[in-house]
Structures are given as C-alpha cells and as structure tokens.
Amino acid sequence: MGSQGGRWRVALALAVLCVVGAPRVGRTLDDEGDRGSLVEALSLSLSALPRDATSRRDGLTRLIRELRKGRSVESALGAYGSRGQPVSVLLTGYYEPVLDARRESSARFRHPLYRLPADPGLRRRARREVDAGALSGRGLEILWLDDPVESFFLHVQGSGRVRLGDGTWVRVGYGGNNGHAYHSIGSELVSRGEMTVEEATAPAIKAWLRSHPAEMLEILHTNPRYVFFREMESAGASVGPAGAMGAPLVPMRSVAVDPDVTPFGSVGLLEAPLPDGTTFRGAVVAMDAGAAIRGPGRIDLFTGAGSEAGALAGVLRARGRVRWLQ
C-alpha cells in the first residue's frame, strides 16, 4: 500500500490518541456528578413511550422519582425492578456530525442531500445511480455539502447539524432510504486486503478514502443503500437529535438497540472497556435503532455531537455485557 497506506494509518493513530487523551469519557455506576444526564434520558424516554407500555412507564416513573429524591444510582435502580441475566454484546459508537453546508450549489459545495422522492421509481435508485445524477434537477436537494466522505458518513449516522454561510444552524434528520440492503464499506476494505478488521474504524476508513481518490467512489458504491433527509426544527445545540423512539438522544446514556429484541424505553446496566483504557459501567436507555444493530448482542452508544464525539465513536468497538432491568 506504500505511502498511501502509511497516511491513513497515521490518521488512525492520531484519532486514537485524541480519545486516549480524554479519560473523562470513563464512567462507573457510582458516579453521581452526571446524575442529571440519566434523569434527562429517562424523562425523555418516558415522554415518548406509548400509553399502553404500562410496565415500562411505571418503572421509569419510579426510577426518576427515586433519583430526584437524591438516592444513589445503585440504590435507585433497585426501585425499577430486578436485573436480568448478563448478555454479551459488541459495543460500538455513533454520533451527530457537525458540518458546513449551503442552500445553493457551488464549485466547493457540490454534494447534495436529497429529500425522499414521491416517485417510488426514483426512490429505489441505488447509490451509484444517484451519484451519477438520477435525482438531480428535480427540486429534491435540501442542502449541499463540500466533502463526499463526510456526506457518506452522514448517511451512516442518519442525522447531523450543519452550519450555513450566514452562521445559522440547521439540523437534518433521517427521512427514509432507497430500500437497498446496507453493505459496510469497512468490511469491503477488509475483504480486499486494504486493512484488518481491527483497523477498520471510521477514522481509518475516512483516511483511506481521502488517500485513494481514484478508488473512493468505487468503494462508496459497494454500499447501494442511500439515505434521504428532512430538514428539522433546530432545538439548539444542547438538545440531541431525535432517535427512532421519537425522543432526543442524550450523550453517553442513549443507546441504539434492535427494538424487536429490546423494547424502546428499556433501562440497562452496561459494562465495557473504552478506547482510553477506562471502563464504562453505568445505566443506559434504549432510545434508538440502526440498520446494523440486529439481535441481542449489539448495542450502539450515542457519544454526542461534533469532532470529539466522532473521534470516540469512530474507534469504539469493544466486547462488553449488559443486564436489562426487568
């Protein structure tokens, strides 16, 4: 791979160092300083739960009440219910990108975000077809980005905040997809011998794409799935994006699960090593879902918004365990 391979490995090392230098991401169950974030996640989940989810609504209400009384997290969790058997999970991370965009295209901003087409035929076009112009000129463009790599990863994350030329902020959220199966470009690069499974993190994949411009589109097009977006009302930078549950996500508390296995609003005790050498041991709330999150053995932790959150999410891949409260 020569000097190109060296460049993306240097980029990966720098991304890991950014995370290793931030031990504050560690958390134990006894940490009381960020009790507010747990109460916030629980309250947002409670507000989004359907009325007929009686047992989960009652459990969340009891837990919130006990935390607000000042009881320790460990003690308050006992008010929710019993702890289930530990389940082995692969823990990964995701985040909300923060990008620059414009309302009109230009020589720099030439990578569109599209809204969902009304025409079913247009909606089914594969990524390769869309990139070739299948949707252009139909008034479907919402915003224009300046980086094809970040645009692709915005599709993977499903939502993001963008800064316009006049300094205003806009949030874009998931608006649908083209119905094609998702294919991991990280797995594609591994199968081609470009990197190992351990090396296939988001920072490494981004660096590889940027150092191989002639092959970039070929790799991106191996994932035919294309995501459409919708412009959302911005609730301010302090409020997270809405998860599949319909409630705003809370950094380091909200997790994406397979809702067919773990119902939204479920509270779990998650324990897993973090890239900085610390251990995450704390309460999390099932508030989101993801195309790659399938079965009881997968959890995706929402790490927040922006570059620091992205650095952590990009290298977070660890075996841990979770016990869902019952």
pLDDT at residue 170 is higher than 60: yes
Closest among 151, 305, 153, 158 to 236, alpha carbons compared:
305
Q: Specify the DSSP element, H or E, that contains 287.
A: strand 279-288
Cα–Cα distance, 254 to 249 (Å, whole number): 6
- Asked whether 250 and 207 are in contact (CB, 8 A), the reply is no
Cα–Cα distance, 244 to 185 (Å, whole number): 24
pLDDT band at residue 287 using 50, 70 and 90 as cut-offs: very high
Ranges of beta strands (E only) in 87-168 are 87-96, 98-102, 111-114, 141-145, 160-163
Q: How distant, in Å, are the alpha carbons of 120, 227, 309, 312 from that of 205?
A: 32, 19, 17, 14
pLDDT at residue 74 is higher than 60: yes
According to the model, what pLDDT value does residue 55 have? Answer: 87
According to the model, what pLDDT value does residue 12 have? Answer: 45
Mean pLDDT, the chain, rounded, equals 87
Cα–Cα distance, 130 to 125 (Å, whole number): 6
- When mean pLDDT is compared over 115-124, 228-237, 317-326, the highest value belongs to 115-124
pLDDT band at residue 33 using 50, 70 and 90 as cut-offs: low
According to the model, what pLDDT value does residue 235 have? Answer: 52
SS3 208: helix
CB atoms within 10 A of CB 116: 16
Q: Go through the domains of the chain in sequence order and give each one's CATH number.
A: 17-95+240-324 (2.40.40.10), 96-232 (2.40.240.50)
pLDDT at residue 3 is higher than 70: no
Q: Write phi, then psi, for 254 (nearest 5 degrees).
A: -80, 140
CA atoms within 13 A on the CB side of 57: 8
According to the model, what pLDDT value does residue 76 have? Answer: 83
Partnered with residue 256 across adjacent β-strands are 288, 300
Closest among 225, 228, 231 to 116, alpha carbons compared:
228
pLDDT band at residue 23 using 50, 70 and 90 as cut-offs: very low
Cα–Cα distance, 322 to 91 (Å, whole number): 10
Lowest-confidence segment of 10-19, 29-38, 117-126, 160-169 by average pLDDT: 10-19
* Dihedral in degrees, nearest 10, Cα atoms 269, 274, 278, 282: -20
pLDDT band at residue 78 using 50, 70 and 90 as cut-offs: confident
According to the model, what pLDDT value does residue 234 have? Answer: 61
* Average pLDDT estimate for 59-81: 83
Which of residues 311 and 222 earns the better pLDDT score?
Answer: 222
- Asked whether 248 and 301 are in contact (CB, 8 A), the reply is no
According to the model, what pLDDT value does residue 242 have? Answer: 87
- Asked whether 207 and 149 are in contact (CB, 8 A), the reply is no
pLDDT at residue 1 is higher than 60: no
Structure tokens at 54: 């009686």
pLDDT at residue 191 is higher than 90: yes
